[in-house]
Structure 1
Amino acid sequence: MTDRRTILKAFSAAPLLLAAGCATRESTTPPGVLNVGQISNSVAFLPLFIAEKQGYFKAEGLTLGARPELGTGAKVAAALKSGSIDLGAGVITDAFNLAKIDDGMRIVTSLVTEYYVDIVVPPSLPEPASLNEKIQALVGKKIGITGPGSGTEALVKYLFGSIGRDAAKDATLVNLGGTMTSAIGALKANRVDALSFFQPIAQQAAAADVGKTYISPARGDVPSLRGALHGVVFSTTKLLDRKRNELAAFERAMGRALADVHGDPAHARSLLGQYLKTTNPKALDALVPILRKEMPATPQVRRASYDTARKFHLDSGLVRKAPAYDAVLYEQAAV
């Protein structure tokens, strides 16, 4: 297993690595081993938990080394650049940002094919019939987001832009960090009027009678975002070229994990409860059918899903450039 000090050194160097665009080092793991870093314990990474919990990686002849939670996409990119992890699990925004400094960035696994950020409001707020009216009702409000440059901010900017408004001028965006309990507390205490946050924020808020789902791309509320690739596993060609067999085993294990998500609902609920141990049971019950809809049946990266996400990122200004579909797949035929 890679020395933890090596990984921590990569984390602390994240800003320097990204600013300098230094060359990617080769993998530091021995044959048969993969180090996989992820940004958080969000619902997007449930398949990774399932594959490990159910022994699918081991069954496919693969050993998992370090499994650090790095907190940000920049730190995932830094760890990939240093070679201290072989694969990074994050959102597609993280992959696009890595592509800015490394044209060898490749997306290898599809984890979530819906934009899993929801707009949550107090239960008492009336719900207009149309999407445009709902967005208009948010104008002038204080909206909690995880932070600048995040997918939570991007959704608000995109929604406001769709009605000719500027979220930076026509709303107050409040940076709350990534802790869900703090975000729900801010909504309950009226420090914010709405939240733009990752799942399962809406389900948690509803279970606590604090909030309700107001706008949900994953539910299909935003037509232009339907089917957008969001949660992904990505890496670089320099790392992947040395880990071809390991990557194949990883993909087989992920396929088995996704099959569990789409299999027996009671079994999927049990696995979700083991993954999100502190989440309200009512929220978990509500989340299972949502995950079965937004997680793909296989880990394959589909062109339509990728292209939808790419267009959103460009249109929202979240990134200025994003590689085309054929440029980001690692020896995977177009579908």
Structure 2
Amino acid sequence: MTRARAPRSRTAAPRVPILRTRPRPAALSVLILTTLLLAVTGCAQRSSTTPPGVLNVGQISNSLAFFPLFVAEQKGYFAEEGVKLGERPRLGTGAKVAAALKSGSIDLGAGVMTDALNLARIDDKGRLVANLVDRYYVDVVVGTSFAGATPSDPLDQRIRALRGKKIGITGPGSGTEALVTYLFAKTGMNSATDSELVNLGSTAAAALGALKAGRVDALAFFQPIAQQATAAGIGVRFISPAAGDVPGLERTSHGVVFTTQRIIDKKPKEVAAFQNALGRAQRFIHQADTAEIIRLLGVYLKGIDPKALTELPALMRSEIPESIGFPRSSFDAAIAFHRTTGLVKHLPSYEQIVPPALRANAT
């Protein structure tokens, strides 16, 4: 005789939100990057897979740091300098950019200094190619109903108001996580245990949606997130290193293009042409009519509220250098920042990661 089975419960097990992450120590973020690189490359160190005259360039997203690449494309500078850009994937996180670079699917990666330093940690031939943004261009944005502190309160009070809150970041090991880690450490807190970091990816619309819906209390996100939140009436800029809110981060190499010495050796003319075009684009941003910059930004940041565009030209001119070189003081500030966060171990020296030409051009 067959025993009757007990009826199954109709109540589904509670779902774990896919965006939310458990607090993780900094060492785990580094481990994630290393694991991803090994999984993608199988421990191999591949060189370029593109034909002569072509460079594949991957970047995290369409944040303000990578606007010079767009300008160089739109103005035809790459073609005039003698290099063709092949695939231009938006890869979402710096870890994926580094993995693609390591695998040979891209030749140059556009990310943040955290990504370049992490690559140099596991590959002593990692090299910087261009300085895109010379300020820490991640802002902390809070919802309009956020309580505990206001944007005009002292910095320590604003940081402490984030304790116990859900903070949206792009992903683990990112420059967005690094800022939260750094700010919490300044007040004796630990972001891994004193907050809940929520991985939102690199799409601004998704991040703003999470803030509006209350899935997060704050965002640590790349510019122009604050301008977009203000224009939409869902948030305000709370902490901005680029605006001078955080002592020690007034000038620091942050948005960068990086590669490996193997690519530089294999494609020296292409890399030099890329650098020349990018330098021209950065000078254009400083010299062009503001209306033209706003027009280009409207194309680059598709769907952005026009009200969010008005302050961006002046903002970019204060952050994007006219030279692609790396001032020693800005590099040292970036190293000090990453030493404090603990997100990157075995930090490289200026002479190791900055090619000689980019030291001479640093002004």
When normalised by structure 1's length, the TM-score is: 0.90
Deviation at 1:168, TM superposition (A): 2.1
The two structures, once aligned, show a CA RMSD in angstroms of 1.9
Residues 138 and 223 of structure 2 are in contact (CA less than 8 Å); yes or no, is this contact kept in structure 1? yes
Give the structure 2 partner of residue 261 of structure 1. Answer: 285
1:78 aligns with 2:103: no
Structure 2 CA distance, aligned partners of 1:163 and 1:44?
28
Tell me the residue number matched to 2:4.
none
1:215 counterpart residue number: 239
Letter in 2 for 1:99: A
User: Could you tell me how far apart the structure 1 residues matched to 2:194 and 2:48 are?
Assistant: 47
Kindly state the Cα deviation for residue 328 of structure 1 after the two structures are TM-superposed: 0.6
1:252 alignment counterpart: 276
Secondary structure of the 1:296 match is coil
Structure 1 distance, partners of 2:111, 2:245, is 23
Taking the aligned partners of 1:39 and 1:140, their CA distance within structure 2 comes to 28
SS in 2 for 1:58: helix
1:30-179 equivalences in 2 (<5 Å) = 30-125=51-146, 126-179=150-203
CA offsets 1:27-84 (integer angstroms, 9 cap, x no match): 2223222221212222211111110111001111222222222223233223322333
Q: 8 Å contact 2:115–2:174 — kept in the other structure?
A: no
Matched-pair contact (CA < 8 Å) for 1:14–1:77: no
Q: How far off its partner does 1:197 sit?
A: 1.2
**Residues 1:281 and 2:303 are matched in the alignment:** no
Distance 2:300 2:152 in 1: 35
Conservation of the 8 A alpha-carbon contact between 1:113 and 1:228: yes
TM-fit CA distance, 1:184: 1.6
8 Å contact from structure 2 (residues 60, 202) kept in 1: no
Residues 211 and 234, structure 2, Cα contact 8 Å, conserved in 1: yes
**1:21–1:102: 8 Å Cα contact kept in structure 2?**
no
Q: Say which of 339, 350, 359 aligns to 1:314.
A: 339
Q: Are the equivalent residues in 2 in contact too, given 1:110–1:231 (CA < 8 A)?
A: yes
Cα deviation for residue 19 of structure 1 reads 7.7
Please state how far the C-alpha of 1:183 moved relative to its aligned partner: 1.9
Deviation string 1:277-300 (CA, Å, 9 cap, x unpaired) is 211111111222111111111111
Q: Secondary structure at the match of 2:248?
A: helix
Change (3 A) 1:172 1:27: closer
Determine whether 1:16 maps to 2:38: yes
Which residue, 350, 353, 357 being the options, matches 1:325? 350
Per the TM alignment, residue 213 of structure 1 is displaced from its structure 2 partner at its CA by: 0.5
Q: 8 Å contact 1:108–1:301 — kept in the other structure?
A: no
Q: Which residue of 2 aligns with 1:8?
A: none
User: CA distance change for structure 1 residues 29 and 183 in 2, over 3 Å: closer, same or farther?
Assistant: closer
Match of 1:191 among 215, 235, 243: 215
Question: How many angstroms apart in 1 are the aligned matches of 2:274 and 2:114?
Answer: 22
- Separation (CA, whole Å) in 2 of partners of 1:136 and 1:72: 27
Bigger drift between 73-82 and 224-233 goes to: 73-82
Aligned equivalent of 1:305: 330
TM-score of the pair, normalised by structure 2? 0.83
> Partners of 2:139 and 2:267 in 1: how far apart?
36
When structure 1 is superposed on structure 2, of 143-152 and 106-115 the one drifting more is: 143-152
1:229/1:183 CA distance change after superposition, 3 Å: same
Q: 1:19 to 1:30 in 2, by over 3 A?
A: closer
Q: Mark the CA change 1:117 to 1:227 in structure 2 (over 3 Å): closer, same or farther.
A: same
CA displacement at 1:128 relative to structure 2: 4.7
- C-alpha deviations, 1:3-38, integer Å up to 9, x for none? xxxxxxxxxx9543568542x223222322222121
Counterparts in 2 of 1:28 and 1:206: CA distance versus 1, 3 Å: same
Residues 92 and 201 in structure 2, CA contact (< 8 A), matched pair in contact too: no
Tell me if structure 2 keeps the 8 A contact 1:260–1:268.
no
1:4 maps to which residue?
none
**Could you say which structure has the larger radius of gyration?**
2
Distance 1:176 1:63, change over 3 A: closer
Q: Unpaired runs of 5+ in structure 2? A: 1-34
Change (3 A) 1:165 1:66: same
Aligned to 1:239: 263
Give, in whole Å, the separation in 2 of the partners of 1:100 and 1:192: 32
Counterpart in the other structure of 2:31:
none
The AA in structure 1 aligned to 2:194 is D
- The verdict on how the C-alpha distance between 1:35 and 1:176 changes in structure 2, with shifts beyond 3 A counting, is closer
C-alpha distance in structure 2 between counterparts of 1:214 and 1:86, whole Å: 37
